[in-house]
Amino acid sequence: MIEDKIDKIINKYQNKNGILIQLLLDIQRELNWVPRKAIEQINKKLTIPVSQIYRVASFYTAISLKPRGRHLVRVCVGTACYVRGGTRLLDSIENKLEIKSGETTNDELISLETVNCLGCCALGPVIEIDGQYFGKLNSEKLDKLLMNYT
């Protein structure tokens, strides 16, 4: 049960201070997102205010308050990637997966997000899938790449 998984993680942090980020990251890793239920359980067991939990969870992009798919695709739409066709790649991915940025496919396989720079502008346009970077992409390379994840 999901509540038991969350409880087990929370229990590791009982009677410790300054643990909220690590706790949320552990839940994120276990469930692939941080559901409302987890926030309520943290509030109840560790007496951390709900508003504080949301503030921290919303600040870190590694933590998602919406269900995330098994794979996370992040498309760079920063300036360097934009001028090299980053938004065309984004359109192409959105059409192929039939979701918009910020959404997850119905089968919960892939979540799509945009990012303003992945720090490797010379390789633009760049996308990141599950932490791995793929650069100098065009639509043909993109199709082949996505086939590995769909």
Q: Give contact residues for ligand FES (rule: CB under 6 A).
A: 76, 78-81, 117-121, 124, 126
Q: What is residue 9's three-state secondary structure?
A: helix
DSSP string, 29-74: HHHSS--HHHHHHHHHHH---HHHHHHHHHH-TTS-SS---SEEEE
Report in angstroms how near the CB of residue 136 gets to ligand FES at its nearest: 11
Of 31 and 126, which has the nearer Cβ to ligand FES?
A: 126
Residue nearest to ligand FES as judged by C-beta position = 78
Least separation in angstroms between residue 71's CB and ligand FES is 20
* Residue with smaller CB distance to ligand FES, 106 or 116: 116
Nearest distance, CB of residue 38 and ligand FES, angstroms: 32
First to last CA, the chain: 27
| Locus of tokens 């991915």 | 93
Q: For ligand FES, which is the closer residue by CB, 10 or 75?
A: 75
- Residue 49 dihedral angles phi and psi, to the nearest 5°: -60, 140
- Shortest Å distance, C-beta 80 to ligand FES: 4
Distance CA 97, CA 76 (A): 17
Residue closer to ligand FES by CB (options 9, 118) is: 118
